[in-house]
Amino acid sequence: MRVLGLDPGLRITGWGMIEMIDNRLRYLGDGTIRSDDKLSLAERLGQLHRGVLQVIAAWSPDAAGVEQTFVNKNPESTLKLGQARGVVLLAPALAGLEVGEYAPTQVKQAVVGTGRAAKEQVGMMVRTLLPGCLVTSADAADALAVAICHAHHAATARRLKAGT
């Protein structure tokens, strides 16, 4: 099963692609999708949407995981992040992929073992769990962590279903 992890952001959306074979994870790729802050919000959202669709077309994932947003102190920033997240959720859904949503604490718990792990710990564990992983940016590392989290949750769901 190929899993696309997405870490939504209006300026930068991270993506990471892994493959799960039995209980083993394999790194396939990662990167970022950037929007041009000189453009209107609608144009920037269009850039993000097209970028996610390009990643999906290039890698043919079977499922996607998306990190949930946290609330900022600035309501305008929170609203814009929510709009970016909506576009990022929409692209894999329109492509017919199963999409899981995960809180940052769930992602950290799945990758590091504690929901309060620092960003550096998450990046280190992503590189440990995915040998050969290049991790081009912190946003891509977060996206790979989301993909790992989704892979774990999907495997557990399959085992539970097989047991019933």
Catalytic amino acids? 7, 67, 139
The CA distance from 63 to 6, in Å, is 11
Q: In sequence order, which residues have a C-beta less than 8 Å from that of residue 48 and are 6 or more positions away?
A: 8, 10, 13, 33, 35, 84, 87, 88
3-class secondary structure, 79? helix
Q: Does 7 carry a binding-site annotation? A: yes
Q: 76 phi and psi, to 5 degrees?
A: -65, -45
List Cα–Cα distances, 17 to 29, 71, 75, 91, 113, in angstroms: 5, 27, 31, 15, 21
The CA distance from 101 to 149, in Å, is 10
Q: Does 139 carry a binding-site annotation? A: yes
- What is the C-alpha end-to-end distance of the chain, expressed in Å? 22
Q: Does 67 carry a binding-site annotation? A: yes
Bind-site residues for Mg(2+)? 7, 67, 139
